[in-house]
Chain A
């Protein structure tokens, strides 16, 4: 049996909740400073053009216009922090030139006394363009040899991997399933639009930027390179952030660098806020992918070969395309024990808005293809899809072929069993209750997602704990909380180890001046990687406390216990002292000592453990209208250990609904390279009336390397929703949807009711 924990495993309320329900929480959009200027960006109307000349003369005459920063002088960021490793790589991270590469690419930023005057100025700028031929699709990027979006051409990245011998694998297959899948550009659509910052440059060379970034420390690195400043001259402060989902995974294209240049020119704070339309048009989205997959299985249901070809569209730039493609490989090859596996990935540039990191990071696209294939194989073999999964998934004790690490925890079997029991899989699978028009069905899918990025990327985590003289503690961490609740969970971890209440832990603001190096929030890593750093620092602090207490109590520290703010020797009731008295003595009373316990930890996580999940989707397909109604999701996820169960459920439920959006309604529509739906009226998010019941189920497999056994959850809850829905639609209506979204038009086309 586990020991009893009092702080972790309980659903404490979030530590920043009161600010959020009272309106006191200050988001970047709320910040106001004295003498602050406002800035906006003039954006390209062309998908591909050379900017020959920018005439600002009329705008300059407007009173209140203070500065301009053009694309000729502002570097764009082209890569992620993998490229910070050496000076040569760093050079490849930035690009300053005169070319605009998508509709919305920044041409000129203007700073002025108020937004009204800046908007007036925008209309007075005259730009002379030499329009170039544009690439509208990933296929065109490969065939239009005369058009080159970047100097190295249109291919951003390619990778080939083969495990075993795929062609031989197909020879030994009894059945082969072969399909091509298409997935669209999904937007993060966090409620606080992506793209607000305030940059404040002082003449002493110090640049402070308030930005809702997921990666405060890496953003500091990028900015220091872009602005030619040393790292200790740049300070990033992350205010409250209105959601991120990968959309703030680095600097925002045009935002922080242009604002910083404007601030350096004016020596005044400069605030820039993108509108919702700019968020849709000119910030990163999920990579659209075309995935060809050929899968072979024996008649007893063993998958023996998989051949995967992916064409991914990074848009005009894109910072994360290498990592996203790498995740397609690692999640695909890692989930199932397939002896013969070939993976060919290619990422191309097009003259469209950039793709980047988004919740799931390549996995939702890959999983949609992989889990649709599995469903078809199960159908062909007349096997329960659950049984097919159970036969083929990689269990704990097996080696992950990409990470080359042993899988130490995998609760997938319990996810499937508990999920199936909860949704009554067997009964519903056998006898779908259907009318002629409304057909009900149920489908399932599974997924693996990595926690953090240990050894795949520079992925540091750090924490500092300082014990106060009243027995409370301060935790300094740059583990950026975008709303998921990491600050609360990290306080729980620290409190558990220090034997105090989590409310007695103050978690610092995220400010690179006071918080030590941390990779930030990506890869579902904060409970695990952040938790490990906090755990290590707290264990050290606890040891210091016990050492001092043993001297004060004149007893052996090995026998002391710490709980509820009291340190005592259980064998001698007289020997006890409160943490408050002990720390007061240490810091203030004992004037020979006057010392505070300050302990830090910094380093990389020992592993990149996979977390797992099974989703059961129940749907109703209207055979006349083509509408798919989701009746219920049952989502069971193995999170190692739920440090805060209600927050874990919040991730599962919210991720599930975002996954339904990816499956059914969320799609950026293009007319050539122009985005046709840059707003919530035409880009359809699910609303309260649209959402089904989600039944979140937590499975705890106790990851041995994790803090109290925890691993990730944030991204995974979205990953396998679309595939479960596709499989349920097949069960209901006998049609196989290989292209997202599963719109009524797509359904009717497959039902042969539309051309």
Chain B
């Protein structure tokens, strides 16, 4: 711990944690380095690629553009927190069944962007989904299957809302 470190509290994937962070520490570094939550990926460090998308207070945010001190008191959900009791979340299984995953590096960010969207809009149309992930670059798939994955997940969650 350094002298000017600050204490923050965050609810991370359902559990409150008290952490010491430096004032200029980015949330992505706290997640990946302090908490070993390496599912959140870094692709550009300037908010252009979306690989580090997480949910903060149910909204999609880019963990490379948020300082950890800004997340004091926040509810953070990362890709690691989506599965429930050993079962994949519908958006995770939909990405598999719709062949939305190739290399998998953009996948956590893409899934978290889709997850936040479905939270706000349980019945998004294709254009809305495309717009939602327009900040998430994918070099492998060409986006069609990730869009299908999110649409399918919304449908499953509408039919069986307890999954969400």
Quick check: A13 and B130 within 8 Å, CB to CB?
no
Q: Mark A649-671, 1 if CB is under 8 A from B, else 0.
A: 11001101110000000000000
Quick check: A21 and B142 within 8 Å, CB to CB?
no
Quick check: A191 and B48 within 8 Å, CB to CB?
no
Knowing A657-B143, A691-B142, A691-B144, the reply to whether A21 touches B102 (Cβ < 8 A) is: no
Taken together as a complex, chains A and B put the C-alpha atoms of A243 and B44 apart, in Å, by 15
Quick check: B39 and A190 within 8 Å, CB to CB?
no
Quick check: A21 and B136 within 8 Å, CB to CB?
no
A591 interfacial by beta-carbon distance below 8 Å: no
Give B77-99 interface residues, CB cut-off 8 Å to A: 78-80, 82-83, 88, 92-93, 95-97, 99
Set of chain A residues within 8 Å of B134, measured between Cβ atoms: 687-689
For the A-B complex with A22-B92, A30-B38, A193-B43 known, give 8 more contacts whose Cβ atoms are closer than 8 Å: A14-B101, A21-B92, A191-B43, A240-B104, A242-B103, A242-B106, A483-B102, A658-B139
**Nearest CB to that of A17 among chain B residues?**
B96
A25 interfacial by beta-carbon distance below 8 Å: yes
Set of chain A residues within 8 Å of B82, measured between Cβ atoms: 22
Give B127-157 interface residues, CB cut-off 8 Å to A: 130-131, 133-147
A24 interfacial by beta-carbon distance below 8 Å: yes
Taken together as a complex, chains A and B put the C-alpha atoms of A685 and B88 apart, in Å, by 31
Set of chain B residues within 8 Å of A653, measured between Cβ atoms: 141-142, 144-145
Knowing A653-B142, A688-B143, the reply to whether A241 touches B103 (Cβ < 8 A) is: yes
Q: Mark B23-36, 1 if CB is under 8 A from A, else 0.
A: 00000000010001
A11 interfacial by beta-carbon distance below 8 Å: yes
Taken together as a complex, chains A and B put the C-alpha atoms of A679 and B78 apart, in Å, by 25
Q: Which of B42, B48, B78 contacts A29 (CB 8 A)?
A: B42
Taken together as a complex, chains A and B put the C-alpha atoms of A507 and B131 apart, in Å, by 37
Set of chain B residues within 8 Å of A19, measured between Cβ atoms: 104
Taken together as a complex, chains A and B put the C-alpha atoms of A693 and B40 apart, in Å, by 29
Task: Name the prevailing secondary structure of the A interface residues.
Answer: loop
B41 to chain A, nearest CB (A): 7
Set of chain B residues within 8 Å of A188, measured between Cβ atoms: 139
Q: Mark A1-44, 1 if CB is under 8 A from B, else 0.
A: 00000000001011011111111111101101000000000000
Set of chain B residues within 8 Å of A656, measured between Cβ atoms: 142
A248 to chain B, nearest CB (A): 11
Set of chain B residues within 8 Å of A275, measured between Cβ atoms: 45
**Nearest CB to that of A481 among chain B residues?**
B103
Set of chain A residues within 8 Å of B140, measured between Cβ atoms: 243, 483-484, 650, 654
Instruction: Tally chain B residues at the interface, Cβ within 8 Å.
Output: 53
Quick check: B48 and A680 within 8 Å, CB to CB?
yes
Task: Name the prevailing secondary structure of the B interface residues.
Answer: loop
B12 to chain A, nearest CB (A): 13
Give A634-658 interface residues, CB cut-off 8 Å to B: 646-647, 649-650, 653-654, 656-658
Quick check: A189 and B139 within 8 Å, CB to CB?
yes
**Nearest CB to that of A656 among chain B residues?**
B142
A681 interfacial by beta-carbon distance below 8 Å: yes
A192 interfacial by beta-carbon distance below 8 Å: yes
Taken together as a complex, chains A and B put the C-alpha atoms of A688 and B144 apart, in Å, by 8
Set of chain A residues within 8 Å of B111, measured between Cβ atoms: 21
**Nearest CB to that of B83 among chain A residues?**
A22
Set of chain B residues within 8 Å of A190, measured between Cβ atoms: 103, 105, 139
Give B59-88 interface residues, CB cut-off 8 Å to A: 78-80, 82-83, 88
Quick check: A13 and B105 within 8 Å, CB to CB?
no
B8 interfacial by beta-carbon distance below 8 Å: no
Quick check: A242 and B104 within 8 Å, CB to CB?
yes
Residue pairs across A and B with Cβ atoms less than 8 A apart, 17 shown, are A14-B101, A21-B101, A21-B111, A23-B38, A23-B78, A188-B139, A191-B41, A191-B51, A191-B137, A192-B41, A242-B106, A650-B141, A679-B44, A687-B137, A688-B143, A689-B131, A693-B144
Knowing A681-B48, A688-B134, the reply to whether A18 touches B88 (Cβ < 8 A) is: yes
Quick check: A694 and B144 within 8 Å, CB to CB?
yes
Set of chain A residues within 8 Å of B135, measured between Cβ atoms: 687
Set of chain B residues within 8 Å of A681, measured between Cβ atoms: 46, 48
Quick check: A22 and B103 within 8 Å, CB to CB?
no
**Nearest CB to that of B82 among chain A residues?**
A22
Set of chain A residues within 8 Å of B43, measured between Cβ atoms: 191-193, 242, 276
Knowing A657-B143, A658-B139, the reply to whether A20 touches B107 (Cβ < 8 A) is: yes
Taken together as a complex, chains A and B put the C-alpha atoms of A192 and B136 apart, in Å, by 13
The listed residue with most B CB atoms (<10 A of its CB), out of A32, A242, A484, is A242
B19 interfacial by beta-carbon distance below 8 Å: no
